[in-house]
Structure 1
Amino acid sequence: MASPMYTETPLAPINTPRFKTGKTDPFTIEASHMALSHNSFIRGFNSIYQQAPRIQSPVDRKDFVGYCIAWVNCVYQHHHYEETEFFPAIEKAVGRKGLMDGAVNQHAAFHDGLERFKSYLQEKGPDFLSKELIQIMDSFSEPLYNHLKEEPQIIADLSQYNTPETPIDILAIAAEAGKKQVNISFLFNLLPVFFLNMESVEFENGLWHTSFPPVNKPVRWLMTKGAPMWQHRLWRFTSCTADVIQEVGLGR
C-alpha cells in the first residue's frame, strides 16, 4: 500500500505579510519570518492529525509519540523565546510595558490544550488511541490557529512606533533574542521538527527558499540534514524532506 499523501489540512498555512503586501521593510520581513515559523507549527499539527489513525506497529507508534512530544515542546520553546526575550526587548525599545500582553494572552488561550496533549501521550505512550488524541487536538486547534494567523500582523504593526526619535531595529532584536534560545538540546531535540515542517520550495513560489532562515549553507545543512541524523526515526513523520520539499508520503 502506498504511503498516505500529506495534505494541508485541517489547518491551512498562512501567507507572509511580504507576499500579501509586497512590502520589504524590516517590520514586514520580521512578521513574515514569524509567519514562516508558524507554518512549521501548522504543518507539524497537520502531520500528527493525519498520521495518528494510521500508525499501527508498536515501534512506529513509539517513535510517533516521540515526534508528537517534540512538536509540542517546540511550540513551548517558541513561546518561551517570545515571552522571556523577544517581547520584553520590543517593549523596552518602544518604551511601553505591557505592549505585547495581547500576544501573551493568546498563548495562554491554548496552553492547557497543549498540556493535555502532551500529558496524554506521556501517560499512554504507544497505547494512545487516535480518536482520543484527535479529540484533544480539536479542543485547542481554534485558539491555536487564530493566534498563529494573527501574531505576524501584530509584529508588522509595530512599525507605527518606529520614529527618528525612537528607532527600532526589529530584525536585530529578533536575532539577538533568538541566539539565546539555541543550545545542544534545542539543536538535536527540537530543531528537526521545526525545519523539517517548513516547506519552502513551492510555498509562495519559493520566495523564502534561500533566504529563511538567514544562515549560510553549512549551517543550513546542519539544521536540515546534520542534526536530524540524531533520533532520525522520530523525524520520518515530518511533512517535508531534508531538502524542505513537501513529502509525498508520510511515515517514510
Structure 2
Amino acid sequence: MLALIVVREMITIHNALIRGLTSIYLQCVNIEKSPEDTPDFVAFCKIWGESLQEHHEMEETDIFPFIEGATGTPELMKSTVEEHRAFDAGLADFMTYVWKVDAGEEKYGGQKVKASIEAFAPAMHQHMVNEIPALLALDKYSDKVDWEEYWKKKAAEIFEKKSSDPTAKAIGLPFVLSCTDATFEDGVHPWPPNFPWMAKMTTRYYYFPQHGNWWRFGPADSAGQSRELPFARAG
C-alpha cells in the first residue's frame, strides 16, 4: 500500500527538514554571541538548504514524472510542484546569504537569518503538510502501478547513489540523522527508511563523528534521541 511505502518515507524526510529549520530558527540569533561557533552553525544551515533543494529536485525530475507517466495522468503532480515555486525565491535568498557568509563575503547576522526564514517557512511548512494527502490519494492508481515494487527499486537506487558519493555519506546522511527523532510515533518511521542496517551503523558510528561540530546544532544525537539545542533562543 502506498501509504506504508512512499508516505512513511516522505514523513520521515519532511519531519527531518522541518526539525532542521526549526533548530536553525531557534539558534540563529544567540549564535552571534559565540563567534567561534558561528562557522559550524553556518555549515549546518547550508547543508539544511542543500538537502531541501536536492529533495525537491529529485521529486521534480524523477519521482513526479514517473508517477504521471505510470498513472497516465499528465500534470497529476502539478499543484505540488507549484507549491515548491511558492517558496523558491525565499529559499534562494536564504541560501545565497548563507553561501556568502560561508565564503567570507558577508558578515553573519542572526536577525537577518531569522527574517529570511520567516519569509519562506510558512509556505514551506504548508507544502510539506499538503504533500502527504496528495501522495495518499495516489492509492487509487494502484491498479496501474505496483507502488511497493517501484519504491523498493527507487530506495535501492537512492542507496546505491549515496553509497558511491563520499559527500552524501559523510555529510548528507549524518545531517538527516541529526534531525530525525527515532522515538517519533513509537519509532515507526525508521532512519533512513529502507536503508540496510550496516549502512545505518556506519553512518552513526563512523561518519557522524567526523563533523560532529556541525551536527550538534541538530535536535537529535547519533542515536536519534532528542536533545537540547546549544544556542536555542529564550522565549
The TM-score by the shorter chain falls in which range? 0.7 to 0.9
Given residue 185 of structure 1, which amino acid in structure 2 is its aligned partner? Answer: T
Separation (CA, whole Å) in 2 of partners of 1:156 and 1:28: 9
Identity of aligned residues (%): 25
For residue 83 of structure 2, give the secondary structure of its aligned residue in structure 1.
Answer: helix
Size of the aligned set, in residue pairs, is 223
Counterpart of 2:79 (choices 102, 127, 133) is: 102
For residue 230 of structure 1, give the secondary structure of its aligned residue in structure 2.
Answer: helix
Instruction: State the shift of 1:120 in Å.
Output: 1.1
The alpha-carbon distance between structure 1 residues 59 and 169, as it changes in their structure 2 partners (threshold 3 A), is farther
What's the counterpart of residue 41 of structure 1?
Answer: 17
Task: Work out whether residues 34 and 152 of structure 1, in 8 Å CA contact, stay in contact via their aligned partners in 2.
Answer: yes
For residue 88 of structure 1, give the secondary structure of its aligned residue in structure 2.
Answer: helix
Write the mapping of 1:1-252 to structure 2, written as runs, cut at 5 A.
25-55=1-31, 56-125=33-102, 127-163=107-143, 166=144, 168-178=145-155, 179-180=157-158, 181-182=161-162, 183-201=165-183, 203-209=184-190, 213-250=193-230
Separation (CA, whole Å) in 2 of partners of 1:239 and 1:122: 23
Q: Deviations over 1:74-107 (max 9, x none)?
A: 0011111111111111112111222111111111
The alpha-carbon distance between structure 1 residues 249 and 122, as it changes in their structure 2 partners (threshold 3 A), is closer
Separation (CA, whole Å) in 2 of partners of 1:77 and 1:171: 23
Q: Deviations over 1:91-143 (max 9, x none)?
A: 12111222111111111111111111111122234731111111000000111
Instruction: State the shift of 1:28 in Å.
Output: 4.1
Separation (CA, whole Å) in 1 of partners of 2:59 and 2:151: 9
Separation (CA, whole Å) in 2 of partners of 1:220 and 1:83: 27
Query: What are structure 2's unaligned runs of at least 5 residues?
Result: none
Separation (CA, whole Å) in 2 of partners of 1:172 and 1:87: 16
Given residue 199 of structure 1, which amino acid in structure 2 is its aligned partner? Answer: D
Instruction: State the shift of 1:159 in Å.
Output: 0.7
Separation (CA, whole Å) in 1 of partners of 2:179 and 2:149: 25
Separation (CA, whole Å) in 2 of partners of 1:176 and 1:107: 25
TM-score, reference length from structure 2 = 0.86
Task: Work out whether residues 103 and 151 of structure 1, in 8 Å CA contact, stay in contact via their aligned partners in 2.
Answer: yes
Separation (CA, whole Å) in 2 of partners of 1:35 and 1:143: 17
Separation (CA, whole Å) in 1 of partners of 2:47 and 2:227: 19
TM-score, reference length from structure 1 = 0.81
Given residue 188 of structure 2, which amino acid in structure 1 is its aligned partner? Answer: L
Instruction: State the shift of 1:175 in Å.
Output: 4.0
Query: What are structure 1's unaligned runs of at least 5 residues?
Result: 1-24
Question: Which has more helix, going by share of residues?
Answer: 2
